[in-house]
Structure 1
Amino acid sequence: MIKNLKKLPLTLTKEEHIKENSNYLRGTITNDLKNKITNGFTGDNFSLIRFHGMYQQDDRDLRVERNQQKLEPRYAMMLRCRLPGGIISSKQWVKIDAFASKNTLYGTIRLTNRQTFQLHGILKKQLKNIHQILHKLGLDSLGTANDVNRNVLCTSDPMQSQIHQECYEWAKKISDYLLPQTKAYAEIWLDQKKVLSTDNEPILGKSYLPRKFKTTVVIPPHNDVDLYANDMNFIAIIENNIIVGFNVLIGGGLSITHGNKQTWPFLALELGYITIDKTLSVAKSIVTTQRDWGNRTNRKNAKTRYTIEKVGLDIFKKEVEKRANITFEPIRFYSFTTRGDTIGWKKDINNHWSLTIFIQNGRICDNNHQLLKSGLLQIANVHPGNFKLTSNQNIIISEISNENKNKIEQIAKSYKLITKISKLRENSMACVSFPTCPLAMAEAERMFSFFITKVENIMLKYNMEKEIIVLRISGCPNGCGRSLLAEIGLIGKSIDRYNLYIGGNRIGSRIPKIYKENITEKEILLHLKFLIKNWSIYRKENEDFGDFVIRKKIVKEVINPIHDFWN
């Protein structure tokens, strides 16, 4: 543990004490790296490594067996790269693939719905190695976890390539601007020499933020980043094919605690419009307001949405205007009509091609059905352009020339990267959950494929197999799978039991309502059979599933989540 702790008010959470006394996120991490007795991190360092982009995990399938053998859990780290906008070059991909193959317990790469990749199963002795590889590639993992601004999302692949490039540049600027300034990351992982009295956190503060903070940059009409689930969102307003400003929305978030009515999901609210030159100033002002006003005595109520509920949106807005020295203009018109990714080939306005490949749950590995990992590596070896990771856990091979298109298509076909899938499967996803997530209450990723196949059979039985339903599975209520923005959402309650939510909408702007609580997969399928059958019979023309169950009053619409979600 860290010595000479400064005493803080007892009302603050344990996490606040850890941050305040961490010496700008250093703690005693270097000592733990030298400790060969355990493969894990001890004391406060267990929490502090998250600021550096890592979570300590263990294989929960092996916990009981190892406990019986009087062995410590099989500790290994999950590392999440910082990749604003989700763009990674082919050359970078090749190096990441090599590390995953040789130096992780699972040998896989996992794409997240935060538009980046994670490596699971890194032993402590390999941590410096992967951080230094990332550094040589121009990448890092700083600030991808814990109480900071996380990886900044942006719309992945609109047809207007010039606008996307602007969108990406703003995602990167915001990410860099809000990044922790501590030198701890460079000292610990890159072996850079410590310089005394150089640490200062002008935006995040010595105790950083009260809770995690998520940001997006979005190009309407495509809501592929699920902007309503994020703390801070910049919706691009385009004139004459350039971004002239942003509509700013704040306060979204989906995490809840089962049975705790003081927690609720919430959709981001409109603050107003700003010209593009005010973007960083407004971003800083929103973050610092949440930094100063957010709840540091109860982490379950520490996110931005709870701060807004406590003080009111108007007061929060006035404070942001004061700090940024601006006045928000009225919201400019915008609308969203689509969500998700368009799988397959597309051509952009620059006459280049892109190929979007469906990655079930983002897990990149080789199996009996397709050789995803090997195929993507082969493409990376011949493609001079970039890969774009999407917020729906898919991957876009972008900027493909006409000359290179046939070569990449042949590789994709030979490794079975291009497969026929249902619209249901294409628009559904699950979080990692077991065996590595310590918060998991029920299966998600590992049961996803079997479960979706059963739902596909129900859809086929009622001639609805060509229809879209946004279906998501989360192993716990912390929101990673974004189930509370789905038309059908499953949230793990305990082993093999879930809460079933229905009534979200296609574009991700409505929170679903609980339909059945604490039920098994068999029970869920029986309910879905009944619901899908009735949808097929009584729907209006082209009526989506989520809209149908609201119209037929199968569940009540969640209009104000603070009052409607639990009641």
Structure 2
Amino acid sequence: MSAADRKLAANEGIKDRSDYLRGTIAEGLSDLSTGGISADDQQLLKFHGSYQQDDRDSRSARRKHKLEKAFSFMIRIRVPGGVSTPEQWIEVDRMATEYANDTIKLTTRQAYQLHGIIKSNLKRTIREINEAALDTIAACGDVNRNVMCNANPDVSALHAEILQVSKELSDHLTPATGAYHEIWLDGERVESSMQQEEPIYGKHYLPRKFKIAVAVPPNNDVDVYANDLSFIAIVGNNGLEGFNVAVGGGMGMTHGQEETYPRVADVIGFVAADRVVDVAEKIVLVQRDHGDRYERKHARLKYTVDDHGVDGFRELVEQRLGYRLEDERPYEFTENGDRYGWSENEDGTANYTFYVPGGRVCDTDEARWRSGFLAIARMLDGEFRLTGNQNLVVARISKEQRPAVKQLINEYGLDAHEHHTGLRLHSLACVALPTCGLALAEA
């Protein structure tokens, strides 16, 4: 079949008609005759950080009584670099009670998820998330998603610098469309040209989702080889020198379809720290213009890299950069897990890494996770860092606050890592039944 005869993937048409991700989402939210939204708007809603779901356990009974599905919405909250404040944790906890299903879900991309939100509460919840200095835009959809960064409790001197790089990448690659503010924050539309509306993504955004991670050897808890684009920090005697650039990672595949496959990222060179954002943008532009928009199962960056070859892909990037990437610098990863319990920082503060089973923050017979973390947040001056393994690091605990944190750990039973096997501590889980359409079991 010639290129002229090929049919674009359905999502490409949805994006083309969406008026830069607006669609008819605002109208759908106002429609009180249904608990859901239209099929096209469901796809666009992902760019705004939300998925429509339904309770699969109740489908048969509701169908029998001629009722529509029990629709609800999941909201994913971006946390660039995985670092949030105790005050933000308190707000997410409050919204889990007021609008969601009394559970906070920690994801493997260092984000928060709230489940079970009904349509009439969706706009209110997203607005209050933004009032807490967080957001949901680009947490899902065919754009760059939450940028990951090592939790790094043991290299505190570098963490702030690496975290800032993660935030700069996230800010630069966030969609520029005004649709998010118009729909969720009651902003007024400002007429602009196509180029001004989305200077990086353009009208059709990317062919598929795009994931970035930043890691500091020897710890690879963000799994740089499984991301579309990763930056591996190279640290010398004088501090951060720059980053090795890795492209084309991704572990997804479709069962029974050999043309889909997992792929480990390739390192294509080194870039100075002040050029990281430029390199990231140009790699995104290459994927925007060369990624497969006909077959979504072949649309991730890993397939673009393989279609052009690693050397050919690097040449495409360097053509846009106007300069060549430097040769890869030596590095070594020796671990990818979380270090549970206490660790010390160079400035005299401390961290405590909690094992959170399946990333599900709720009170159980084993431990009162949610109540305990809330109690810590209410008295802490430090940070709440989400890890790529669905766990939580309470970081930068002062010497004065450390005894109180120890007391709360004991009171709420939050030292679960001391009682589980290595197999249990390395387990991960998705949200599972009854909401996930791909799940086969309970989490």
1:41-68 CA distances to partner (integer Å, 9 max, x unpaired)? 1131010000000000011111111111
Match of 1:75 in 2: 71
How far apart are the structure 2 equivalents of 1:143 and 1:296?
Answer: 19
Aligned to 2:163: 168
What is the identity, as a one-letter code, of the residue corresponding to 1:191? Answer: D
Structure 1 equivalent of residue 152 of structure 2? 157
Is 2:100 aligned against 1:101?
no
Identity across matched positions, percent: 44
Match status 1:374 vs 2:371: yes
Shift of the 166–315 alpha-carbon distance from structure 1 to 2, 3 Å rule, reads: same
> Structure 2 residue aligned with 1:340, among 337, 350, 364?
337
Partner of residue 146, structure 1: 141
2:236 paired residue among 234, 239, 242: 239
In structure 1, the partner of 2:16 is: 20
The 5 A counterparts of 1:11-50 are: 11-50=7-46
Contact 1:110 1:362 in 2 (8 A): yes
Alignment counterpart, residue 273 of structure 2, candidates 263, 273, 276: 276
State the shift of 1:425 in Å: 1.0
Instruction: Describe how 1:61-460 pairs up with structure 2 within 5 A.
Output: 61-104=57-100, 106-197=101-192, 200-240=197-237, 242-419=239-416, 420-440=419-439, 442-443=440-441, 446=443
Q: In the alignment, which residue of structure 2 is the partner of 1:456? A: none
Distance 1:72 1:10, change over 3 A: farther
Q: Distance in 1 between matches of 2:303 and 2:57?
A: 36
CA contact (8 A) 1:134 1:140 kept: yes
User: Quick one: which amino acid aligns to residue 34 of structure 1?
Assistant: S
Q: Please list every run of 5 or more consecutive structure 2 residues that lacks an aligned counterpart in the other structure.
A: none
The gaps in structure 1 that reach 5 residues or longer are 1-7, 447-567
Give the 4+ runs in structure 1 shifted more than 2 A: none
The separation in 2 between residues aligned to 1:380 and 1:287, in whole angstroms, is 37
The answer (yes or no) to whether the contact 2:53–2:71 under 8 Å persists in 1 is: yes
Q: Quick check: 1:146–1:211 contact (8 Å CA) kept in 2?
A: yes
For residues 241-261 of structure 1, the C-alpha deviation after alignment (integer angstroms, 9 at most, x for no partner) is 521110000000011111000
Indicate the SS of the match to 2:400. helix
CA contact (8 A) 2:153 2:395 kept: no
Distance 1:405 1:421 in 2: 24
**Secondary structure class of the residue paired with 1:345:** strand
Q: Is residue 163–residue 241 contact of structure 1 (8 Å, CA) maintained in 2?
A: no
SS for the counterpart of 1:247 is strand
Report Cα offsets for 1:184-243 as digits up to 9, x if no partner.
Answer: 000000001111226521111110000000000100010101111100000001123521
Q: Secondary structure at the match of 1:97?
A: helix
Aligned partner letter, 2:94: A
User: Which stretch has the larger CA shift, 308-317 or 23-32?
Assistant: 308-317
Amino acid at match of 1:433: A
Q: Which residue of 2 aligns with 1:4?
A: none
Q: Please report how far the alpha carbon of residue 433 of structure 1 lies from its aligned counterpart in structure 2 after TM superposition.
A: 2.2
Using the TM superposition, give the Cα deviation of residue 308 of structure 1 relative to its aligned residue in structure 2, in angstroms.
1.1
Partner of 1:61, secondary structure, is: helix
Shift of the 221–314 alpha-carbon distance from structure 1 to 2, 3 Å rule, reads same
SS of the residue corresponding to residue 143 of structure 2 reads coil
- Asked if the contact 2:153/2:351 (under 8 Å) is kept, the reply is no
Query: What's the TM-score once normalised by structure 1's chain length?
Result: 0.76
1:407-443 Cα shifts (integer Å, max 9, x gaps): 0110111011112221111122122222111122x22
Q: CA deviation at 1:83?
A: 0.7
1:253-307 deviation digits (Å, cap 9, x = unpaired): 0111110000000000011011111111100110000110000000000001111
Partner SS, residue 429 of structure 1: coil
Deviations 1:357-402 (A, max 9, x none): 1000100001122110011000000001110000000001100011
Aligned counterparts, 1:457-536, within 5 A: none
Q: Secondary structure at the match of 2:197?
A: coil
Q: How far, CA to CA, are the matches of 1:109 and 1:326 in structure 2? A: 45
Of structures 1 and 2, the one scoring higher in RCO (CA 8 A, sep 6+) is 2
CA contact (8 A) 2:221 2:335 kept: yes
Shift of 1:9: 7.9
Which residue type is aligned with residue 11 of structure 2?
E
Q: Deviations over 1:90-118 (max 9, x none)?
A: 011111111101211x2100000011110
Moved more, 43-52 or 417-426: 417-426
**CA 1:399/1:158 → structure 2, altered by over 3 Å: closer, same or farther?**
closer
SS of 2:274's equivalent? helix
Work out the CA distance in 1 between the residues paired with 2:388 and 2:63.
38
CA distance in 1, matches of 2:144, 2:181: 19
